[in-house]
Amino acid sequence: MKRFLFLMLLVCGMLIVPAQKLYINGKVSDSGKKPVENITVYLIKAKDSSIVNYTATNNEGKFSLKIDNQEEPSILKIDNEKLSYSKRFEKIDQPLSLDDIILEQKKIINIDEVKITVSPVKIKNDTVEFSASALKVRPDSNILELLKQVPGVEVSNDDKITVNGKNVDQIMVNGKPFFDKDGKMALQNLPADIIKNIQVTTTKTKQEEFGKKTPKSQNATINFNIDEKKNKGLITRAIVGYGSDKRYEGSGMVSYFKGNTKVSLMLSSNNINSRSVSGDNVFDNMGSIRGGGTQSSGGGILRSSTIGLNYNDKLSEDADLDNLSLKYSVSNRETASKVSRTTLLPDNILKTNSENSNKNESRQYSFDNSTRIKLDPETNIYISPSFSRSEGFSSGRSKSSTSKNDQLLNESQSSNTTDSENNTFSPNINFSKNLKKKGRVISARVNTSISESKTNTINLSQNTFYGESGITTDNRNQLQKNRSQGNDYSFNAGYTEPISDSATISMEMNYTSKLSRDFRDFNDFDNTTGQYSKYNILLSNSMEQRINQFSPELSFYLTKKKISTWATVNLDISDMKVNSVFKGQQYELKKNFALPRYMVNVQYVLSERQRLIVSNSSGFTVPSAEKLIPYKDESDPLATYTGNPDLKNSWMSTSMISFNSYNIVSGINYYINAGFIYRNNDVINYTRYDDTGKQIVTYDNISGNKSFNISSSLNKTFKWQDKKLIISPRFLMSYMYNNSSINGQLIKSNSYSISPSLNFNFDIKDKLSIKPSYSLNYNFSKYSNSDINSINTTSQSLKLELTNYLFQSRFVFGNDFEYNTNSNIAPGFKKDFYFWNTSLGYAFYKKQFTAKIKIYDVLNQNQSVRRTITDTYFEDREDLILKRYIMFSISMKLNTFKGKK
């Protein structure tokens, strides 16, 4: 491990060393010799118009464009919608300081048969716009391939997208969601040749967007604008496949575009653990689990079917339908697990072995709508109601045993069946109005959530306890009925006032009202009647909780060219009332709070592509009513829980510092993040174990828990001819100090986690793609006042993704290989395994159809085994996972635009 860390540091050091750079400096003015601010300046190669670098002028019209040596002819361009300038250089091998540049009225310029009619990049405030015509991709590429060519954009092996170090959390098409805001449907299904430009900007809330406020988010949004000439047509995608063990996949999508109107219908059905409608170009829907090991959320084996409709339109000049989405899905999931847990006691340890299996069927319905209404040029109303409903049925079995010093303390086995129903309705409204004075805004927001859920569970369990006084049993045959109702309502009113050209203050009033009702009824089985008719008053309870909160808020924003900051101070004034009935006894709880919160964020621009961000926040958390009410809950035969009305409010302080740098010239992008969290009056489980291994839990406050983490990533891109190599070393380290209590003894834990990794990505355009990677995860925990002093575990993963494009990309041969190993796993768990997927595809009929043969888990070794370490226990877990299958599939891509295919 030490050698690997040294290698990582050496590679990082070699990559961070900056290459010698040149520059082109100048000052830009219009025909009246007035400086032109924020106009795009860029250098392109004369042979293919590809971007070398770009920048923008400052408020004095000055710019400094950093470049490397240019051995080939290049063209300097400066332009906006009306003005332009160009200058050709045969060679650049020294810094250049140009005379004052006077812009002329924009016109088409031809230089040595290089026709430049569209700027490849434009900068306007915090938005950077790239022309799609300047990004070179294959004619049949989707917009994901187009996005990968945008300078500063990185797409990881798990499809996580970042731009200049910022996480991308929204992807839009023509400024609107395409089914979902994550954009996966759009990235995989829309063709690149219909896109006019790509816009990258900071993610904003609706209030920030309408009120033109400085965004508080550190994430980015990418928007694809469709070319007006191609914004009328039909896009069709379909995949059908069948294989061994009755594995199948089928998905399809049809999208119709015409101006502002966009209608899309999607269908999907498979039993290969994929919830997506389309996958990647190599493995189709299998691509959602490409790279092995990991499965879709929840593990197990999933069979699912989904149908969805998405509609966007401009209803009138003053009404815009951002999104109308309907979705229905059915899923069946089978899970099974084997767990070995070791619980740390002050003078001993407990060993618990358990096995669980479960089958779950569910149906889900959802409706989402968002409509923007413009009452006048400065007044906007945004209405976004949503509704969801789910129905489910599950059945499962479990068994467990707990021992100490190889002496059996208890054993349990149970079976259960559950049917459930849940409904949620959330109508939300945003209002914003810009007043006459620039920057003066009034806004209001109303959010509502009405929910109801019902669950009926029949549970049969046999529980045996081997105590010092003898053997006792607790056998149950019960019907448990749970009903929950929730009504949440919040109202926000805000006023923003500019106090200078770069500073504003904002005052907001927030009111929140929450009402929840929970009913839990137990009925024991009556052998006489053969029904669950014996009401069990000892386990049944009900609880009604009301929380009203009033929160005045004051915010300050300062935006300069080099520095921007915002700070927010809140005071949460809360009134809590709880009424509960348990064992026929009524409990009442009333508490009032006045708790402050604050957030401060400072961003400093060191250079055009380097930013330093520092933030700090703190606030209080009120314990839940279940932990405050002092009744004894014995619904679990193996554990009892008792609330503590004397719990104090928890306080947490979070500090973060982040530095990111992106250099388009040298192709180096890196960031370093560090964070620290300190907690006071943390609510912890105050646990005791009796002589049968049964848990007796209450709650208490403890102070001094803290954590620290640091993460860094570096990407270095090398390009030559049609080849590209990306080297990406990454490093993550975290430390946690936690206090816990077992059997009245305070146990302190110091936990460390170190996770370095190294990724490579080598591409030869339209021929070959190689992505090797290696990751190491080392965990070490040290305990005081425990029978075990320390625990450590190491996991390693070696991956290789190899894709070959043969015979003008008609044949695509893909292979994903992975080797995983875990150390210190308990006996009975396999420590390592190999995982291999392979696919061979042939494209025919103008590459509109593709036939594929795919093998998942070629070696039939796939498994899910992991170790988890906490401050009170560590456990090894193995889950049921999808195994080898072979599948043949046919996929289709048909596009028609204005009568042309």
Q: Which pLDDT value is given to residue 671?
A: 85
**Tens digit of pLDDT for each residue in 173-198?**
888 887 776 777 777 778 888 888 89
- Provide mean pLDDT across the span 423-434: 94
CA atoms within 13 A of residue 182's CA, in its CB half-sphere: 6
Full DSSP string of 17-41: SPPP-EEEEEEEE-TT--B--S-EE
Q: How confident is the model at residue 648 (pLDDT cuts 50, 70, 90)?
A: very high
337: which 2 tokens?
């697990």
For 114, other C-beta atoms within 10 Å of its C-beta total 17
CB–CB of 649/595 below 8 Å? yes
For residue 366, the cross-strand partners are 327, 388
Pick the more confident residue, 19 or 757: 757
What is the rounded average pLDDT of the residues 859-865? 90
Bin 693: left if φ > 0, else alpha if -120 < ψ < 50, else beta: left
The pLDDT of residue 348 is above 70: yes
Asked if 653 and 662 count as a contact pair (C-beta separation under 8 A), the reply is no
Average pLDDT estimate for 773-779: 93
Question: Residue 825's pLDDT is what?
Answer: 82
What are φ and ψ of residue 762, in 5° steps? -115, 130
Supply φ then ψ for residue 54, to 5 degrees.
-145, 160
Average pLDDT over residues 839-857: 92
Q: Tell whether the model's pLDDT for residue 111 goes beyond 70.
A: no
- State the pLDDT confidence band at 782, using cuts at 50, 70 and 90: very high
The pTM for the full model equals: 0.82
- Residue 196, number of CB atoms within 10 A of its CB: 18
Q: What Cα–Cα distance (Å) separates residue 352 from each residue in 338, 640, 750, 756? A: 11, 18, 24, 32
How much is the mean pLDDT over the chain?
Answer: 86
Residue 5 binned pLDDT confidence (cut-offs 50, 70, 90): very low
Nearest to 205 by CA among 219, 185, 224: 219
In whole angstroms, what is the distance from residue 480 CA to residue 459 CA? 8
Distance between CA atoms of 223 and 570, rounded to whole angstroms? 34
pLDDT at 475 exceeding the cut of 80: yes
The sign of the torsion formed by the CA atoms of 58, 61, 67, 73 equals: positive
Q: Is the dihedral of CA 22, 27, 31, 36 positive or negative?
A: positive
- The pLDDT score that the predictor gives to residue 284 is 76
- How much is the average pLDDT of 99-110? 70
CA separation for the pair 274, 820 (Å, rounded) = 22
Residues paired with 508 in a beta bridge? 494, 553
Using the predicted structure, report yes or no on whether residue 7 has a pLDDT greater than 70. Answer: no
In this structure, what DSSP letter does residue 289 have? G
In this prediction, residue 575 carries a pLDDT of 94
- If one counts every other C-beta atom within 10 angstroms of the C-beta of residue 827, the result is 6
3-class DSSP state of 609:
coil
pLDDT at 41: 87
pLDDT for res 388: 96
Share of the chain above pLDDT 90, in %: 50
How many whole angstroms from its chain centre is CA 615? 21
CA distance 733 to 779: 10
pLDDT in tens, 64-98: 888 888 888 999 988 776 788 889 999 998 899 98
d(CA 305, CA 266): 11
Cβ atoms 455, 398 nearer than 8 A? no
pLDDT band at 107 (very low <50, low <70, confident <90, very high): low
Confidence of residue 392 (pLDDT cuts 50, 70, 90): very high
**What sign results for the dihedral spanned by CA atoms 159, 162, 167, 171?**
negative
CB-count exposure of residue 361 (10 Å: 0-12, 13-18, 19+) = middle
Look up residue 280 and give its amino acid. D
pLDDT recorded at residue 157: 57
Cα first-last separation, the chain: 55
pLDDT of residue 288: 46
Residues forming a β-bridge with 415? 397, 460
Output 226-231 pairs: Cβ under 8 A, ≥24 positions apart.
226/173, 226/174, 226/194, 226/195, 226/196, 226/257, 227/132, 227/194, 227/195, 227/196, 228/196, 229/898, 230/193, 230/194, 230/897, 230/898, 231/174, 231/194, 231/257, 231/258, 231/259
Question: What is the rounded distance in angstroms from the CA atom of residue 254 to the CA atom of residue 189?
Answer: 10
b/e per residue, 619-652, with b = 16+ CB within 10 A?
bbebbebbbbbebebebebbebbbbbeebbbbbb
The three-state secondary structure class of 284 is: strand
CB 816 within 8 A of CB 292: yes
Element (H, E) at 5: helix 2-16
Q: Which two tokens stand for residue 518?
A: 């929970």
pLDDT number for residue 289: 47
User: 664 pLDDT exceeds 70?
Assistant: no
Residue pLDDT, tens place only, 134-173: 776 766 677 888 887 776 677 765 667 887 667 888 888 8
Q: CA 299 to CA 768: how far, in whole Å?
A: 33
pLDDT of residue 490: 95
List, for residues 484-540, the tens digit of each pLDDT value.
Answer: 999 999 999 999 999 998 899 999 999 999 999 999 999 999 998 999 999 999 999
Give which of 202, 200, 189 is closest to 224, Cα–Cα.
200
pLDDT digits 0-9 by tens, 674-693: 999 999 999 999 999 999 99
Residues of the chain with pLDDT > 70: what percent?
A: 90
Angle at 130 between CA 125 and CA 136, to 5 degrees: 165
Taken in order 65, 161, 884, 282, the sign of the CA dihedral is: negative
Count the neighbouring beta carbons within 10 Å of the beta carbon of residue 425: 15
CA dist 164 and 152 (Å) reads 5
Output the six-digit token pair for 761: 């990505």
Binning pLDDT at 50, 70 and 90, where does residue 119 land?
Answer: low
Question: Tokens 């991709």 map to which residue?
Answer: 137
CA-closest candidate to residue 822, choices 865, 879, 759: 865
Q: Are 292 and 862 in contact (CB under 8 A)?
A: yes
The tokens of 567 are what? 């700070």
One-letter amino acid at 459 equals N
Q: Quick one: which of 764, 765, 758 has its CA closest to 799? A: 758
pLDDT of residue 287: 59
